[in-house]
Structure 1
Amino acid sequence: MGHVKLANYSLAYKRIKNAAFGDGGASSTVLFFVSADVDSICAFRMWTTLLKSDCISYVVVPVSGMDDIRAEAKIMSASIRSVLMLNCGGLFNLEEYMELSEDVTIYVLDSHRPVNLRNAFWNNEIIVFHDSDLDRDLAQEKDAIIFTEENEYDQGDEDDESEQEDEEDDEDDDDDRNDREDDDHRRTRRKTGVDSEVAPRQVNRQWKESRAIIVEYMSKGSTMGTSISNQTYMMATQLDRSSLDLLWLAIVGLSSQYLSEQISHRDYLAITQTYKDESERLARVSALAEEQGGASRSSNVDDGAIRCTEEYRFMMVRHWSLYESMYNSNYVASRLGIWREPGRQRLLALLAKMGFSLEECNQVFAHMSIDLKKILKERVEMVAPEYGLHEVLYTSFTRSYGYRGLMSASDVVYSVTSLLETSPASLVAMKYSPEWMTEEMRTKAALADVSSSVQGGEDERASWWHANFFRACDSLDGSGGEGDQLRQGLKLCMQVQKAVIRQGIAIIEKQVIITLSKCRVATLKDGPDLPVFWDPLSLHKLAQFLVYAIREYGSSKSGHRPIPLVVAVLKEDTQTFIVTGVSGSPVIGEVIPNKFGNVFERISYNEKIPVKHLGFDKSVIEIDRDDLETFMKSIGRYMRS
C-alpha cells in the first residue's frame, strides 16, 4: 500500500480494525509509538477514543528518539498487528530501526517533512499517512527512489565511462531506440546482470540522475505539514464520529503548531475557519439532540461549548496578571525590548495610556475590575499600534471547563507543554515544587544524582519522562486530569517562561550571540537556569524568544532575510551539549524550511563527530563537550556550501 492520502484515511482505519479481529475473532493489540509533543498527544487521545468505541485494545509507548523505537521494536509482543507512529519516524528509514514483517503493518502519521521516500514508496509493510496525494506531488521522486532501489550502481564502470565519453552520445541514441523496442528485455538484462557494454552505463547514468533528485528533495530543509491531530479529526469525520471533544483536541494540536511557528499564519487561518464552521455545526447537532430529548436549552456551564474568539498575544492572560502576561510573552517583550530600561518603561507607559493602574495590572486577571476587563480589547486595539504591537490579536478558540471557567486553546498548549518538558532538575533550578514532585525526586535532583551513571541516568530519565507523558495525557481530560493537572501545568508554565525570559535577557545583555557569515550562534555554559533548557521543548522556547528579539533589534543590514540561529546548552552531568538550530523567519507568521538538520548531518559525517538525535526533528542533537568547538566552527562553512 505504501501511502494513503487524506481522503482515504478511513480505509486505513478499517484495515487496522480488520487486522485487530483477523485471528479467528480474537482481538489483537495495536501498538502506539508517540512522541513528546502536544500535537502527538492530542492525536493519540483521538485515536484511542475511536479504538475504544470499536473495542480494540492497544498499548502506548512514549518515545523520545529513534533509539527508543529500535529498543521497543525488539521486544514487541507477538500479538501486535498494527504499529501506529505518531509524529515520529517520518524522516527516517524505518527499515534500519525495525524488523519488517508481513504480519505487522506500520502506519506512520507524522507531520515532519520531507517524508522518507523509502517508507512511502518502497516498503509494502509501511503505510505513510499524508495530507496530499504523494503519487501526484512526488511523482519524480517516486520514480527516482524505485529506480535506485531496483538497480545497483556499478562502480567498476566509472573508468569505462570516462574513457568512452566521446562515444557515449551516439551509443545512447541507439540504446534509447533499442530500449523502446524491447523494454521488457532491457529490464530483465539490468536485473540479471547480463553481460553488456552499454546497459551498465545507462543504468549508472540514470542512477546518478535519480540519486540527484532524491538528494535535492531531502536537502530542501525540514518543515511541518498539517498537524496530525487535524488529520485524525478529518478521519473521524469520514467515519462519522466527530464530536466536540475530538474537535477540541484537533484545535489544541493545531494551536501548538501555530504557537511554535511551525505553520504559517495563512495556513492557520484556513484551518481555523473550518474548525469554526465545525464547532457551530456540532453545537446545532447537540442542541437538536437536547430538544428531541426534552432537555432544556438554557445555558449550561458544563456544556463544553467551543467558541471562536480573538486571543491576545499575551501569555496565559486569564491566569496571570496583565503585567506579567505581557512582560513574559515573546511578542510584547521583543517588540518593546524589555531587556533594557527604556523598553520596560514603554510597557508601563502602554498600560498607563490604556488607563490601567499598575496596581490593577499586577493583580491576577480574574481579580481585576470587571469594567476594566470589558474595555481591555478596545483599549489594546486603540493604543497598542502606537507601540509597534500591530498583530496583538489573533483568531483562536476557547472552551468552557464548567465552573472553573474558560480555557483558551493556547492555555492548554502552554500547560501540556510544561507538563511534558519539566525535569526534576529543572524544577529544583527554578525553586518550584508542583504537587506531584516527591521529596525523593527533589533530593536526587538537588544532589545531581539523576545521572550518576550512564545507564542509571537513562533509567532515571525514562522514569520521570514517562510520568510526565502520562500526566500530560491525563490533563487533556474534560476535567483537566487528576488534581486538575491542567491548571498545575499553567502554574508550571509561568515558572518556565520566566526562566526563558531571564535567560534570553542575560544572553542579550552579555552579548553571547556571535554573528557568523550565514547564521548566529549562542553557547550557554553556566547560569542557575541551565537545567531548564536541557529539554528540547524548553530549548526551542529560548531559541524562539531570541529569534523574536533579533527580528526586532538585530542588525539593520539583515533586512527581511532569514535569521538562522543555533543555541547550544551545556549539560553538566553528562558533559555534553544540547544543540538546536532554528531557521528564524524574518516576518512573524511566515515559515521557512529549516536546513540545520541537513547541516548537522553533514558535519557529523564529514568531521567524524558523533551526534545523538533528540526527538524526531534532525535539527536537535546532543554532542560531546569536547566536540563542540569543532562543530560550531563548521556550521558557517557548511551553511555556505
Structure 2
Amino acid sequence: MFVEDLKNDFYNVLLGNRVLLLVHYDVDAICTCKILQGLFKCDNISYTLVPVGGIAELKQAYLENNEEIKYVCLVNCGGTIDLVDILQPEEDVVFFVLDCHKPTDVCNVYSDGQVRLVYKDEEEKIPNFDDIFRDDEDEEEEDPGGGREGLEARVERRRARRAWEERRDTLMFNYTQFSYYGKPSALVALELSWRVSRLGAREAWAGAVAGAAHEAWGLRGAAACLLDAALLTRARSRTTDNDDGHQSVELVLEKDAPLPLYRWWSLESALKHSPSIGPFLKLHSLAGVSRLRQLLADMGFPLQQARQAYRSMDVELRRGLLEALETAGARLGLRDVSRTAYILRRAHAPPLSALDAVYATAALLEHETIPRSEGFQLALSALDLESENESLRLGIQSAQRSLEAVARLVNATLSARALHLAGPFTYFIIHEGTPEAAWVCGPVWLGVAARWAADAAGARALVASAPLDNQRCIMLGVPPRRQEPANLFGAAFSQAAAKSGVSVSLDHVDSSVVTLPTAQRAQFLDALTALLADT
C-alpha cells in the first residue's frame, strides 16, 4: 500500500520506536540516509543502520537485526521484490519502503499494510488489483453438479480462467518488461524534512547531490529531473545556515560546465575525462586529439593554461570559462556543454558542485582498495558541509583515478575495435588482467564506461562485462542515452538465463545488473542475442 501522508503515516509512526534502517550502496541511497539520520537525531529516534548490496544481503541483514524490531525502513532496496515472501517477517512487523527502482512489485503495492510504500510515482502504470489477483475458492466450493449442464459449466469456467490468465500475463509483461528509475529517494526524504520543519542546508545539499546523480548517470530524463527538484528550488532560501547558526553555507543554483571535478583538476584533464563531452571528442582516434586542441583554441585557452591546475589558471580565463565553452562547443557540434547545477559555497573553501560530490561519493562506494562497508561510512561523511572534509578529498582523488581508468578503457576498446555488434545491441568485454579492471568491477563505474562507449559508438543499447574474480564476472546493460531511460535488459537477462541454462545471479536490486560464471558468458550472450533479435 502507498503512504498518503508522509508526516503522519510514515514519520510519526516511527517516533518513539526503534527502527532498522537498510540502505543500498548507491549515491541516492547515501543522500537519503544522510537526511533520515538528521531527522532521527533531532527527534531521538533510535535506529540500527545496515548497508546492503543485494537481495541476499538484504535478507541476511534482516535476519541478523530483526530482534525486537517492529519497523523497518528500506532505502533503494526491497521495492521491486515481494518483501513478505522473501523475508518471512512476523505479522506485526511493518516495512516502509523508499525505493527509486521501478517497477514496484505488485505484491508490495497491494499489501494490506505490512508493506508501506512511502512514495507513489505517477509514471507507474500499476495494473488494477482485480486484473492480476483472483480468488477461486468460492468457485471451487460451488459444485455445478453432474450431467451435461454441469460439464458445460466446468468447461466454461476453465475457459474463462484461461482467458483471465492470458490477460494477466499480458498486463504483467507490459508492466515489468522495462526497468527504470523514479524520483530520487533523497528528494522524497527532503519533502519529509520540509513537512516536519527540519529542512536545513545539510538536507538540501544531500537532495541536490541525489538529483545530480540521477541526471549524471542518465537515470532520468531532463524534464523529469527538473520536476523532481521543484521543492529543492523553492526551499533554497531556507538553506543558508549551518547547524551553528552562522551564515557560512549557501546553496546556489547557477549555470555550470558539465565537467567532473574541473575545479580540482586541470581544464584539459576535465575535458578528456568528462563522460558527457569525452565521447563526442572521440579521443580514441588521432582526430580526437586534434579536436580537443581545436576546442581549447576556439575557447581561447593556451595549452599551458589548460594543463595546469584550475586554481592556478589566469583569473580572467576562469571567469570566462563557461561562455567560452558554450561558444566553442556550439561551433564543434558538442551537446550539453552547460547545465544548471547546484553549487555549495562555504566560507574559506572553494565552491563545490553537486556533480563533483556525486563522483566523489560514488568513488568511495566503489573504491579500489577500501572495503565497501568502510566506503559507505566515508561516503556519508563526504556529504558533511565542513570546509575541511578529508572524506570528500579522498573521494575526489579516487574519482579522478577512476575516471582516468574509464577513459583509458573505453578509448582502448574503441581504438582496438573491440566493441562488438550483436543484433539489436553492442557489447564489450573487459578481460581479466586488463589494468583498468580493478576500477570498473562495480556497477557504478562499469555503467559510466558503458554509457561512454554507447555515446561514442552511436545510438544502440550496450552491454558491458568485467571480471569480479577468477571465476565470475559482472554484466550490465544500458539503454540508448538519448532516448527514454527505460531499460529492457532486466527482463531480457532473466529470460536469457532461463533459456540458456546459465547459472546467472539476479541478486542485484537493479535488474539490469547480473553476475554469472565467466566460462558461461559467451553462451549467455548468444542466448541474449537470439532473444532480443526475435523481439
Distance 1:272 1:419, change over 3 A: same
Deviation at 1:354, TM superposition (A): 2.1
Structure 2 vs 1, CA of residues 139 and 110 (structure 1 numbering), >3 Å: closer, same or farther? closer
- 5+ residue gaps, structure 1: 22-27, 152-187, 425-436, 438-463, 552-561
Please, which runs of 5 or more residues in structure 2 have no aligned partner? Answer: 145-152
Helix, strand or coil at the partner of 1:108: strand
Give the aligned partner of residue 594 of structure 1.
487
Q: Distance in 2 between matches of 1:256 and 1:478?
A: 18
Matching of residue 519 in structure 1 with residue 425 in structure 2: yes
Which amino acid counterpart does residue 377 of structure 2 have in structure 1?
Answer: F
Deviations 1:395-445 (A, max 9, x none): 011012331221000011010000111132xxxxxxxxxxxx6xxxxxxxx
Looking at structure 2, the residues matched to 519 and 593 of structure 1 have their Cα atoms a distance apart, in angstroms, of 15
Picking from 297, 301, 309, the partner of 1:352 is 297
Shift of 1:216: 2.1
Q: Is 1:231 matched with 2:207? A: no
The one of 176, 194, 214 equivalent to 1:257 is: 214
Match of 2:234 in 1: 277
The one-character-per-residue Cα deviations of 1:460-495 (angstroms, maximum 9, x if unpaired) are xxxx111111111111112268x6110211111000
Match of 2:436 in 1: 529
SS in 2 for 1:250: helix
Larger Rg: 1
2:141 is equivalent to residue 192 of structure 1: yes
* Alignment deviations for residues 354-397 of structure 1 (CA, whole Å, 9 cap, x no partner): 22211111111011111211222222222221111242000011
Say whether residues 1:577 and 2:473 are aligned partners.
yes
Aligned AA (2:215): Y
For residues 382 and 64 of structure 1, the distance between their equivalents in structure 2, rounded to whole angstroms, comes to 43
Map 1:456-471 → 2, pairs under 5 A: 464-471=371-378
**What does the per-residue CA deviation read over 1:72-107, in whole Å, with 9 as the maximum and x for residues that have no partner?**
222223221111110112111223320122221011
1:206 and 2:205 matched: no
2:522 aligned residue: 629
Cα distance in 1 between the residues matched to 2:230 and 2:11: 29
Q: Distance in 2 between matches of 1:636 and 1:396?
A: 39
CA distance in structure 2 between the aligned counterparts of 1:139 and 1:547, rounded to whole angstroms: 31
1:361 aligns with 2:302: no
Gap change, CA 1:468 and 1:191, over 3 Å in 2: farther
Query: Alpha carbon RMSD of aligned pairs, Å?
Result: 2.3
Corresponding residue for residue 148 of structure 2: none
Give the number of aligned pairs. Answer: 524
Q: Is the 8 A contact 1:46 1:232 kept in 2?
A: yes
Aligned to 1:477: 384
Distance 1:544 1:119, change over 3 A: same
Q: Percent identity?
A: 21
Cα distance in 2 for residues equivalent to 1:621 and 1:48: 31
For 1:42 and 1:415, locate their aligned partners in 2 and report how far apart those are by CA, in whole Å: 13
Matched, 1:10 2:7: yes
Letter in 2 for 1:142: F
**Shift of residue 566, structure 1, vs aligned partner:** 0.7
Distance in 2 (CA, whole Å) between partners of 1:205 and 1:355 is 69
Amino acid at match of 2:285: R
* In 2: Cα distance, 1:81 partner to 1:361 partner: 57
In the TM superposition, residue 273 of structure 1 has moved relative to its aligned partner by 4.9
The answer on whether the counterparts of 1:578 and 1:621 sit within 8 Å (CA) in structure 2 is yes
- Aligned ranges 1:145-544 → 2 under 5 Å: 145-147=132-134, 150-151=135-136, 189-190=138-139, 192=141, 194-195=143-144, 197=154, 198-219=156-177, 221-283=178-240, 303-424=248-369, 464-479=371-386, 484-525=390-431, 526-544=433-451
Distance 2:162 2:111 in 1: 20
The structural deviation recorded for 1:274 is 4.2
**Using the alignment, how far apart are the partners of 2:408 and 2:267 within structure 1?**
18
- Asked if the contact 2:121–2:182 (Cα under 8 Å) also holds between the matched residues in 1, the reply is no
AA of the residue aligned to 1:319: W
Specify which of 437, 443, 460 is matched with residue 563 of structure 1. 460
Secondary structure at the aligned position of 2:254 is classed as strand
Whether the 8 Å contact between 2:71 and 2:96 is mirrored in structure 1 is yes
Question: Is the Cα contact below 8 Å between 1:113 and 1:224 reproduced in 2?
Answer: yes
In structure 1, give the amino acid aligned to 2:128.
E
Cα distance in 1 for partners of 2:391, 2:436 equals 24
Tell me how far apart the structure 1 counterparts of residues 381 and 426 of structure 2 sit (CA, whole Å): 39
Deviation at 1:609, TM superposition (A): 1.4
For residues 140 and 49 of structure 2, the distance between their equivalents in structure 1, rounded to whole angstroms, comes to: 42
Q: 1:191 to 1:246 in 2, by over 3 A?
A: farther
TM-score (norm 2): 0.92
Contact 1:131 1:226 in 2 (8 A): no
Q: How far does residue 239 in structure 1 lie from its aligned partner after superposition? A: 2.0
Could you state the TM-score of these two structures normalised by the residue count of structure 1?
0.78
Q: Tell me how far 1:282 sits from its aligned partner.
A: 4.5
State the partner residue of 2:131.
144
Deviation at 1:138, TM superposition (A): 4.4
Instruction: Report the equivalent of 1:49.
Output: 38
SS at structure 1 position matched to 2:67: coil
For residue 80 of structure 2, give the secondary structure of its aligned residue in structure 1: coil
